[in-house]
Amino acid sequence: MDGQPAGDAEERSAATDAERRSMAREAEPRPRGQETAQRPVGPEAEGRPVGREAQPRSVARTARHGPLLPAGLAAAVVAGLAAAPLFLAPFATTTLTRILVFALLAVSLDLLVGVSGLPSLGHAAYFGAGAYAAGWISIHTTSAVPLPLLAGAATGALAAAATGWVAVRAHGVYFLMLTLALGELLHQLAQTWDSVTGGANGMAAIPSAELGGEPLRLAGYVYWYVLAAALLGFLTLWLVARSPYGAALRGIRDNEPRMRALGYPTRIYKYAAFVLAGAVAGAAGGLLAAQERLVTPADLGFTTAALALLAVVIGGAGSLWGAALGAALVILVRDVIGPDLDGHGTLLLGVVFIAVVYLLPRGAAGLVRRRGR
Amino acid sequence: MILNCTGLHKHFGALRAVDDVTLTVAAGARHALIGPNGAGKSTLFKLITGLLRPDAGRVELAGRDVTRETEVRRCRLGMSQTLQHASLFPSMTAAENIALAVQRHTGGRIRPVPRRQPHVHDRAAQLLARVGLADRGRVQVAALSHGERKQLELALALACDPRLLLLDEPAAGMSTAERTHLAALITDLPASVTVLFVEHDLDLVFELADTVTALHLGKILTTGTPQHIRASDAVRRAYLGTADREELFR
Ligand SMILES: Nc1ncnc2c1ncn2[C@@H]1O[C@H](COP(=O)(O)OP(=O)(O)OP(=O)(O)O)[C@@H](O)[C@H]1O
Ligand SMILES: [Mg+2]
């Protein structure tokens, strides 16, 4: 092809070599995530979006305290939680129940935000959908454990499956906006669909959960029910995050184009994570219905979604247990300290949030440098 | 022929980055693609592996038309690529990076339950050793040198068990020792792996390649043996205006 006619080509060679060189450099396309791959770590790592971990972890430290310490710690926490109602007043037990419910929501959101890099602002929609479903089943069919819970999980999964396929096509801030819009959509639906949801007044008079024909009336029993279910949910998410599939989700978070080039159909992976997170959020909603025995549109509104996201960020996105810790902090500030501040609890949350972002760029989980990703 | 590109076009606005490129690569070849900056080499690679869609033209892998297949599918069909600018997973260690690539291509489905995967670990360790990163597995990507990232990038591409391996400036940013290692690695690849590579270091090109294609302003100038390329006036002109042969090919 040596002697190709080169009219056009000739003309273009008129541009000086230097020009073309600098053009090539500037216009070289960089697939998303490439810059991060090359960026050195350092102070600028603080500015990166939620869910990216960049600081090199100390390898020596990881090696020293194998899996025993975390396992022992987890066992101690579970034992402490199980024993809590024996020592706490009913009000405190109820608050702890609320924390568990909200923690399950936050941890399911962390699977999206921290593990998969999908910052959702509409996650409360699936929580609320699950709560309504569980409430509806309890009122109209049965409140026998675990049926309302399962109905909640199934409804959360269905709602996520119906809306997620659109959402996972978007990236970054577009994903954020899209999930916000989807959340508002379901919120509106809950408000207007009077015959099922009770409209703005909410779904009231949900019967107590029943175990073996006996209604769970005492705060302590409700707590144990919620604890058992929440632990199951945490365990599920934790196992998924540590599996090969979880590793792939973290790969997508770090660099989705590269994952695709390695042969991963990333959209399906993200969709599955979205549906799973929706199912767990729905289950958390089921627990909410059992505990509050009242579901209102606010439970799937923006505020709930934003608080859940706040919990994830405060706790340190990506670690799962950090999100649970963040949830505890959010509920404590909102429900325990907040009422003493004449309703300025939200303000205090804002201050806490700013403090965390400045002092702990990787959230509470960043305090413990561990290998757990 | 492992790869057949026919009439490929890619335009960015008025710029014809790839302009009617027809290229065939023989199975088992060590085929180099050379050309000055902005010639369209990286763009052509992306058209081949599916990172970019062509405006016109066809890509065939081993006789199968893959023009409409996604990059995900093309990887599964046996193409893998290293990018000019290393593109890795920054929150992970070198070993975790490579394990991600290996688990997709070795041993079955990706499951949502934790499991020991000794075969994945073995293969990952083996690949790290092969590219010269044996003792760097536990180091975060961010702490790797530029050359080491390129090596890791190569390990990721190799983990896909490619039939056709595309390397975009694999030696850029590498030390002399790393370059020597890379050259040996490419030479030692089995004939079942066809290599198409872009390289600016012409010594390396003439050392490794059995066929060379020169690209300029999106068009193929010529294809031939290294001897043919050395003798080509068109190639010399493209690189150096009208400079003489001695300067370019020492
Ligand atoms: N996404 C893009 N948008 C606009 N122009 C682009 C894009 N990608 C590449 N180009 C332009 O297309 C031309 C070919 O670029 P390409 O990166 O393929 O060149 P190259 O031969 O790989 O050069 P180098 O040797 O510098 O890597 C260049 O002029 C470049 O500026
Ligand atoms: Mg290039």
The one-letter code for the residue type at B219 is K
Distance between CA atoms of residues A251 and B90, nearest Å: 9
Q: Which residues pair with B165 in a beta bridge?
A: B80, B195
Q: Residue B223: its chain A contacts at CB < 8 A?
A: 1
Q: Which CATH class is domain B1-78+162-250?
A: alpha beta
Residue pLDDT, tens place only, A176-216? 999 999 999 999 998 899 888 888 888 888 888 888 878 88
From the CA of B168, the nearest ligand is 2
Distance between CA atoms of residues B62 and B2, nearest Å: 4
Q: What is the pLDDT of residue B248?
A: 55
Close Cβ partners of B145 (under 8 Å, ≥ 6 residues apart): none
Q: Which of B9, B18, B43 to mutate to test the pocket of ligand 1 (most atoms within 8 A of CB)?
A: B43
Q: What is the pLDDT of residue A24?
A: 39
Higher pLDDT, B17 or B231: B17
Tell me the HSE value of B223 on the side-chain side, using a 13 A CA sphere. 15
Distance A157 CA to ligand 2 centre (A): 44
B119 lines ligand 1 (CB under 6 A): no
Tokens 């790969």 belong to which residue? A251
Q: What is the pLDDT of residue A196?
A: 85
| Ligand 1: residue whose CA is nearest its atom 14 | B40
Name the residue facing B142 among A9, A20, A41 (closest C-beta): A41
Phi, psi of B216 (to 5 degrees): -150, 125
CB proximity B160 to A under 8 Å: yes
**Which residues of chain A are modeled with pLDDT < 50?**
1-64, 370-373
Distance B205 CA to ligand 1 centre (A): 21
> In chain A, which residue ranges form alpha helices assigned H by DSSP?
7-13, 17-27, 34-38, 59-64, 68-87, 90-110, 124-140, 147-167, 172-192, 194-197, 219-242, 244-261, 266-292, 302-315, 321-331, 345-359
Quote the tokens at residue A105.
Answer: 């929501």
CB proximity A245 to B under 8 Å: yes
Residue pLDDT, tens place only, B147-159? 899 999 999 999 9
Q: Residue B76: its chain A contacts at CB < 8 A?
A: 263
Name the residue facing A54 among B90, B96, B101 (closest C-beta): B90
CB proximity B14 to A under 8 Å: no
Q: Residue A258: its chain B contacts at CB < 8 A?
A: 87-89, 156
Domain borders along chain B are 1-78+162-250, 87-160
| Cβ-contact A286, A130 below 8 angstroms | yes
- Of the ranges A291-295, B59-63, B161-165, which one carries the lowest mean pLDDT score? A291-295
Q: How far is B190 from chain A (nearest CA, A)?
A: 21
Distance between CA atoms of residues B69 and B195, nearest Å: 21
Ion ligand 2: residues, CB < 5 A: B 42, 84
Which among A20, A262, A373 is the top mutation candidate for probing chain B, defined by the most B β-carbons within 10 Å of its own β-carbon?
A: A262
| Cβ-contact A356, A346 below 8 angstroms | no
| Cβ-contact A162, A154 below 8 angstroms | no
What's the sign of the alpha-carbon dihedral A93, A95, A96, A101?
A: positive
Contact B112 A239 (CB under 8 A): yes
Q: A-contacting residues of B 199-218, CB under 8 Å? A: 216-218
User: Residue A334 carries which DSSP code?
Assistant: I
Q: What is the pLDDT of residue A262?
A: 94
| Residue B160 in this model has a pLDDT that exceeds 80 | yes
Name the residue facing B89 among A27, A239, A251 (closest C-beta): A251
Higher pLDDT, A199 or B47: B47
- Of the ranges A29-43, A61-75, B35-49, B128-142, which one carries the lowest mean pLDDT score? A29-43
Computed over every residue of chain B, the mean pLDDT equals: 90
Cα angle A357, A363, A369; round to 5 = 135
Tell me the HSE value of A77 on the side-chain side, using a 13 A CA sphere. 12
pLDDT more than 90, % of chain B: 72
pTM of the model: 0.84
Distance B150 CA to ligand 1 centre (A): 20
| Cβ-contact A339, A345 below 8 angstroms | yes
Tokens 């509806």 belong to which residue? A136
Contact A264 B49 (CB under 8 A): no
Q: What is the pLDDT of residue B77?
A: 94
Paired sense of beta strands B3-12 and B15-25, if any: antiparallel
Distance between CA atoms of residues B83 and B46, nearest Å: 9
Contact B51 A261 (CB under 8 A): yes
Q: What is the pLDDT of residue A17?
A: 41
| Cβ-contact B194, B31 below 8 angstroms | yes
Distance between CA atoms of residues A70 and A76, nearest Å: 10
Question: Prior bond to A85 cis, omega within 30?
Answer: no
Distance A10 CA to ligand 2 centre (A): 21
Q: What is the pLDDT of residue A372?
A: 41
3-state percent helix, strand, coil for chain B, nearest multiple of 5: 40, 25, 35
Which among A254, A256, A373 is the top mutation candidate for probing chain B, defined by the most B β-carbons within 10 Å of its own β-carbon?
A: A254
Residues in chain A: 373
Nearest CA in chain A to B76: A263
From the CA of B13, the nearest ligand is 1
Mean pLDDT within B203-218: 92
Q: Which of A23, A28, A30, A34 to mutate to test the pocket of ligand 1 (most atoms within 8 A of CB)?
A: A28
Distance between CA atoms of residues B219 and A133, nearest Å: 62
